Amino acid sequence: MPDLHPPRLAVERILKDTAEREILPRFLKVNGEMKADGSAFSAADIAAQESLIRALARLADLPMIGEEMPMKTQEAAWAQGFAEGVWVMDPIDGSTNFLTGLPQFAVSVALMRQGRPVLGVSYLPLMREMFSASLGGGVWLNGEKLPPIPADAAHKAVADTVACIDFKRLPPQLSLAIVHDAPIYSQRNFGSSVLDWCYLAAGRVDAITHGSERLWDYAAGWLMTEEMGGCVTTFETDDFAAASPWKRSIIAARDPELFRLWRDWLRQQMAEIRTR
């Protein structure tokens, strides 16, 4: 019977060790290739994924889903481990950044049960930042627990909001509306969905908007956001867990009131686009 409660610190050690042994030694030393979906990968992604599989299996021998696995393998693991637990891993999120020398890339692992994350760890190797969360245990950054957002905290003004927005995967009309008419202060894109989620948890950005993230992109960050008192949904439904696990649009924010206003503005724009 596998350990259904693997310790957060043990997963942190696995990610740091994988980064030190498999990822950083290959930084700027491997050539990239393109997958069928147009995303980049390299030998570093494969080596890191294999390392994670071996180490996580020793910690809790559960089905595994890695970004570089075939889709049929991923789907089988999801079905097999849905009830008891399944590891979800992104060996290098931000592979284009990794290949071109930009520091914004991460390695991320989540443990999911019944379609929801119960443990999430994301490590930013070049920045030496380790983010982690466990269900009911809060969010941690480099060994220090981040204070959750107080229920009576002053709401963030929409006009002061900095949002991470991936324009590439949004409808072009929505991207134009965000650039020209959005009520927020500014937008950023770092080329790594995992990093966006980590920055949201740490309060460095206030919101995330993305047209299509994969399971390994959002799994750990979803837990971090909710543990900080934030909200997560999609463009289509408020029940984030009810959406397809394989591709989900993302609307997330730390402040629940800001979340509501930003979500409603985005959905109104989408409704207007559909009627044009």
Residue 42: predicted pLDDT? 86
Q: Does the pLDDT value for residue 4 go beyond 60?
A: no
Mean pLDDT of 109-127: 98
Beta strands 144-145; 116-124: pairing state: unpaired
Place 37 in a pLDDT band, splitting at 50, 70 and 90: confident
Q: Does the pLDDT value for residue 97 go beyond 50?
A: yes
User: In percent, how much of the chain has pLDDT > 90?
Assistant: 88
Q: Does the pLDDT value for residue 95 go beyond 70?
A: yes
Q: How far apart are CA 115 and CA 272, in angstroms?
A: 32
Mean pLDDT of 62-74: 96
Residue 170: predicted pLDDT? 95
Worst-scoring range by mean pLDDT, 77-91, 100-114, 149-163, 196-210?
149-163
Q: What is the DSSP letter of 204?
A: S
Q: How far apart are CA 116 and CA 240, in angstroms?
A: 10
What are the residue ranges of CATH 3.30.540.10 in the chain? Answer: 8-145
Architecture of the domain spanning 158-275: 3-Layer(aba) Sandwich (3.40)
Q: Does the pLDDT value for residue 1 go beyond 70?
A: no
Q: Does the pLDDT value for residue 275 go beyond 90?
A: no
Residue 142: predicted pLDDT? 97
Place 38 in a pLDDT band, splitting at 50, 70 and 90: low
User: In percent, how much of the chain has pLDDT > 70?
Assistant: 97
For residue 213, which of 228, 225, 203 has the smallest C-alpha distance?
A: 225
Element housing 99 (H / E): helix 95-100
Residue 171, judged by CB atoms within 10 A of its CB (0-12, 13-18, 19+), counts as middle
Residue 271: predicted pLDDT? 93
**pLDDT (tens digit per residue) in 120-177:** 999 999 999 999 999 999 999 999 999 988 776 778 889 999 999 999 999 999 999 9
Residue 249: predicted pLDDT? 97
What are the residue ranges of CATH 3.40.190.80 in the chain? Answer: 158-275
Residue 31: predicted pLDDT? 82
Mean pLDDT of 259-265: 96
In this prediction the pTM is 0.94
For residue 102, which of 28, 193, 198, 181 has the smallest C-alpha distance?
A: 28
CATH of domain 8-145: 3.30.540.10
Q: How far apart are CA 196 and CA 214, in angstroms?
A: 14
Q: How far apart are CA 16 and CA 123, in angstroms?
A: 7
